[in-house]
Structure formats: C-alpha cells, structure tokens
Structure 1
Amino acid sequence: MNNKEIVKKFNKEVIEQTNYETFKTLMHPEFINHTAPPTANGAEGMWYTFHTILKPAFPDLVVEIEDQIEENDKVVTRKIIRGTHLGKLFDFEPTGKSIKINIIDIVRIKDGQYFEHWGINTLQSLLSELKQGK
C-alpha cells in the first residue's frame, strides 16, 4: 500500500467508520499530532477527537477527498467532512443541519503508519455558526 492509499484508508475506515482496529494498525507508536493541544498530541488524542467528539455529533459523517499530493514521506490531503448535526457537539445541542468542515492535512508516513500530522480546518467557523444559530 502506498502512502496515499494509507491516508485514504485512514480517512474512510478511521474517521468515517471509527474502526479502532484500523486506527491501531495505522498509528505509529511515536505518533505526534502537531496541530492538537499539547495534552492530546499523541495517537489517543486523535482517536478521542474522531470517536468521542465528531462521530457522535455527526453519525452520518463522510469524508470526501478532493486532492492528494505525495512527496517523499508526506501526503497532503484537501478534504471535506460532511454530516448532519444529530448529536451534541461540545456545548451545542443537535440542530439537524447539514455541516461541512474543510480540512487540509499533511501526514508524514513512517513504516506504513501515521508518524506526524499537521492540519488546518474550518471547525471554528462551524462552531461560530452554531453559536449564532445559523
């Protein structure tokens, strides 16, 4: 499996399906998430985000990969997470609205596993919209 396929598998099986077995297989023991808060920069912090925050809030969550660029051991992915706000998201009660989160990730692969991650996303914009009742 090449690096782009590893990232695609992660997005489909881990983020969409919250498959913990795939997650464990794809995460390097020394994984660092450079985008996460310092207390959650390891693999379990990433799992917590998908399994405990996003999936319960958006049970029909889908990841659409728009673009992928691979260079050496890094894969850059531009993607969209879509879903319906059917569960509580932080302090926001379900609205039943369709949501969209734009994301750009850079993942460094080592030994066929996620070794490092950097990313930007529009989750803050979504939270602002929910706060304003949009």
Structure 2
Amino acid sequence: MASMTLEANKSIMKRFVVFINTANEMMAEELIAPDAVFHVPGNPEPMLGPAGYLAIIGMMRGGFPDIQWTLEEMVAEGDRVAARFIMNGTHQGTFFGVPPTGKKISVQAMNMYRLSNGMFIEEHGQPDMLGLLKQIGAIPSP
C-alpha cells in the first residue's frame, strides 16, 4: 500500500509542475488544501492555501513573465516529496526592486512538500536567490 501512495504522490507532484507553469486557478483548487502553508524564504509569515500559492507564482511572474519550472528529480517518502527544479525565465519586470534587464535566468530550487489526501498541505521552498540575483546583476559576482 505504501508504495502506491508514494507513486500517487509523485504523480500529483508532476501535476503540480503543470499547475505552477500555467498558474491555472482550477488546478490550484484541485491540488492545494484550503489551509495549506507555504514557507517562503525571506517572508516571516507563510502564504496560505491556493490563493497564497497563486500569489507566490504571481510574484515570480511579475519579474519573469515567461518563467517555467522543470522538475529535475524527486524523492518521495511517507507523506513528503522532495523536488529539485530548474527555473528558467527572462527578467522583464521589476523583481526585488531590480528594474528589468532582459537577462535570462536559470536557477535551481530545492523544495520539500507534504501531502495529505492527494493535496499539498505544506511547502518549504529554497530557490537559489543568490544565484538569481547575481544572474540579473542585482549583486556582483565574485
């Protein structure tokens, strides 16, 4: 039974990637529990539920309207899925106060998710913000 759950969680993770790449509101409602908690680096307060996750995606799309996440690998154990993504996009909007540069980014993210009843209930996201800010010229490379 446990392995079926792990396979189901991996399958749900693949649907989640489609969701984050499209910001489809119906998929948000389908995949994200209403009381889900999303821990965002640099944000003392977590984002909540489908609307919170759509807001996170909206913030990224504000700076990188063409941003796409590619799932490179994932590991599932119990109710958790660990995922490594590559985020690709073009800096066409202000991001963290940095005006658009037109530069392309390719940035890794390592995220840990918790699922329950086929829905996401928690995420700890760790995008490589240092790498991202270097790639748009916000901070100098050594």
How do 1:1-134 and structure 2 match up within 5 A? 2-13=8-19, 15-35=20-40, 37-43=43-49, 44-51=51-58, 53-129=59-135, 130-132=137-139
Task: Tell me the SS of whatever aligns to 2:122.
Answer: strand
Amino acid at match of 2:77: E
Specify whether residues 45 and 38 from structure 1 end up closer, same or farther in structure 2 by C-alpha distance, changes over 3 A only: farther
Q: Distance in 2 between matches of 1:33 and 1:95?
A: 29
1:69 & 1:131 partners in 2: Cα distance? Answer: 33
SS in structure 2 of the partner of residue 50 of structure 1: helix
SS at 1:131 equivalent: coil
| Length-normalised TM-score, structure 2 | 0.81
CA deviations 1:53-104 (Å, max 9, x no partner) are 1113212212111111111111110111101111221311111111022111
**CA 1:119/1:64 → structure 2, altered by over 3 Å: closer, same or farther?**
same
Q: How many residues align?
A: 132
Cα shift at 1:119: 2.4
Q: In the alignment, residue 29 of structure 1 is paired with which amino acid?
A: P
CA distance in 2, matches of 1:124, 1:61: 17
Query: Runs (4+) of structure 1 moved beyond 6 Å?
Result: none
Identity percentage over the alignment? 28
Alignment RMSD: 2.0
Structure 1: runs of 5+ lacking an equivalent: none
Give 1:48 deviation, angstroms. Answer: 0.9
Q: Contact between 1:33 and 1:118, CA under 8 Å: does it hold in 2? A: yes
Specify the structure having the higher radius of gyration (Cα).
2
Provide structure 2 residue ranges, at least 5 long, that are not aligned to the other structure.
Answer: 1-6
TM-score by length of 1: 0.85
Could you list the per-position Cα deviations for residues 15-36 of structure 1 after superposition, in whole angstroms to 9, with x for gaps in the alignment?
2111111112111122112345
